[in-house]
């Protein structure tokens, strides 16, 4: 449709992985390009590509890891979530093994826990991680009930 603008679909991943000490954590990358800061691995969905395929591709491009998608977590659509343009991001929770390596849009990479999340975080990734930690806590509480 001429003159009609659509938001751009993106994907981001919360990649659960064991750190060097064997304890569970998740991967963040430090962005090479604006907006700068630490971020979940992810990016734009290519035309003709499924969200799932885009998530697997972006994880490989930015972390060098092959991931297993576990679940679709949530979709974030606030028009101001990305200062470059209006994006809608579907977040996946994934698992990976191995040592991540910063590639593509990443200058650094790390495995973090809720207690040591680096700042600043890019986009709305602070909110996404807060929602993720809250959902993990809630799941643990439900599991502990008799």
Instruction: List, as one string, the DSSP characters of 26-75.
Output: EEEEEESSSSPSEE-SEEEPPTT--HHHHHHHHHHHHH----EEEEEEEE
Sign for the pseudo-dihedral over CA of 66, 92, 130, 145: negative
Helices (H) and strands (E) in the chain, counts: 2, 7
Catalytic residues: 108
Cα atoms in the 13 Å half-sphere on the side-chain side of 44: 11
């Amino acid at each position: 449709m001429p003159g009609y603008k659509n938001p751009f679909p993106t994907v981001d991943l919360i990649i659960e992985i064991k750190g060097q000490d064997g304890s569970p954590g998740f991967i963040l990358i430090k962005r090479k390009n604006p907006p700068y800061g630490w971020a979940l691995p992810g990016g734009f969905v290519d035309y003709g590509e499924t969200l799932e395929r885009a998530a697997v591709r972006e994880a490989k491009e930015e972390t060098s890891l092959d991931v297993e998608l576990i679940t679709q977590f949530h979709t974030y659509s606030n028009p101001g979530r990305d200062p470059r343009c209006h994006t809608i991001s579907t977040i996946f929770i994934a698992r990976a093994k191995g040592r991540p390596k910063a590639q593509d849009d990443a200058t650094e990479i790390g495995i973090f826990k809720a207690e040591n999340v680096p700042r600043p975080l890019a986009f709305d990734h602070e909110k996404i991680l807060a929602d993720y930690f809250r959902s993990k806590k809630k799941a643990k509480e439900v599991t502990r009930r008799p």
